[in-house]
């Protein structure tokens, strides 16, 4: 089965600093990869997805992610963090059976 | 913009009681899913449903759980005899299709189940 691993359960950055949230995948076939964001007491919102059309994927709220096959990675980045970016971020891979397999999540804290 | 809805937003129940969590997927979607998230943990797949039957289920989805699409709009998750460890946020999701592309799964806002 496909799976993803998120490195770092908690990332803290200062407002305006670079955000880097790490995700590595394990897949026997070309993967479909996703990043979701969960704000406190809310559901999951799609940030972006990789569908093999382009290795650099741009999402909402200024986030982007780069698919690197050689590193089996799909790290999420944002050049300049805003206070409103504070949330839980989940990397996910679409499993061969079409359900989503999520990473453990990374909680992003943004300091003023 | 169409969205997945879930009711109730919060359900409190006594251990051993039956609960039914309700979801209304996006109207033209064909594939439906339930996930759960125990507090502070990752989102876990429970079950997928297509063409009025279960497509896949995880090891979490034991005989205590069942799903149903009783009409053309609702998709329900029933837990027959709740246990303390069933306390979690339950998310419903739907997608239009799963073959031929990375179709996004649209998630509902979740139902927080608290078992006392």
The pLDDT tens digits for A38-90 are: 988 788 899 999 987 788 999 999 999 999 999 999 999 999 999 999 999 99
Q: Looking at residues A7-36, what average pLDDT do you find?
A: 92
Residue B98: the pLDDT is 60
What are the residue ranges in chain B where pLDDT is below 70?
98-102
Q: What pLDDT is attached to residue A98?
A: 73
Given an 8 Å threshold on Cβ–Cβ distance, is B42 in contact with A43? no
What CA–CA distance (Å, rounded) separates B11 from B63? 21
Cα A82 from chain centroid (whole Å): 17
Across the interface, of B42, B48, B106, the residue whose CB is closest to A99 is B48
Gap between the Cα atoms of B6 and A73, Å rounded? 33
Residues of B with CB under 8 A from a CB of A: 31, 33, 35, 41-45, 48, 55-56, 58, 91, 93, 98, 101-102, 104-110
Distance CA B35, CA B58 (A): 10
CB pairs under 8 A between A and B: 57
């Amino acid at each position: 089965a496909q799976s993803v691993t998120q490195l770092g359960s908690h990332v803290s950055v200062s407002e305006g600093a670079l955000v880097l949230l790490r995700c590595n995948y394990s897949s026997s076939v070309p993967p479909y990869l996703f990043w979701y964001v969960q704000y406190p007491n809310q559901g999951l919102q799609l940030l972006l997805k990789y569908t093999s059309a382009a290795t650099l994927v741009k999402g909402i709220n200024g986030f982007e992610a780069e698919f690197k096959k050689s590193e089996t990675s799909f790290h999420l980045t944002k050049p300049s963090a805003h206070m409103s970016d504070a949330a839980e971020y989940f990397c996910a891979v679409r499993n061969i059976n079409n359900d989503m397999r999520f990473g453990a999540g990374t909680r992003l804290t943004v300091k003023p | 913009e169409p969205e997945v809805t879930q009711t109730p937003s919060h359900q409190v129940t006594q251990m051993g009681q039956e609960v039914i969590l309700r979801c209304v997927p996006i109207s033209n979607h064909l594939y439906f899913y339930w996930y759960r998230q125990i507090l502070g943990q990752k989102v876990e797949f429970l079950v997928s449903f297509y063409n009025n039957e279960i497509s896949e289920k995880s090891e979490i989805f034991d005989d205590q759980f069942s799903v149903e699409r009783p009409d053309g709009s609702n998709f329900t998750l029933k837990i027959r005899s709740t246990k303390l460890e069933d306390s979690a946020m339950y998310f419903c999701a739907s997608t239009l299709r799963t073959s031929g592309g990375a179709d996004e799964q649209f998630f509902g806002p979740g139902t927080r189940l608290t078992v006392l």
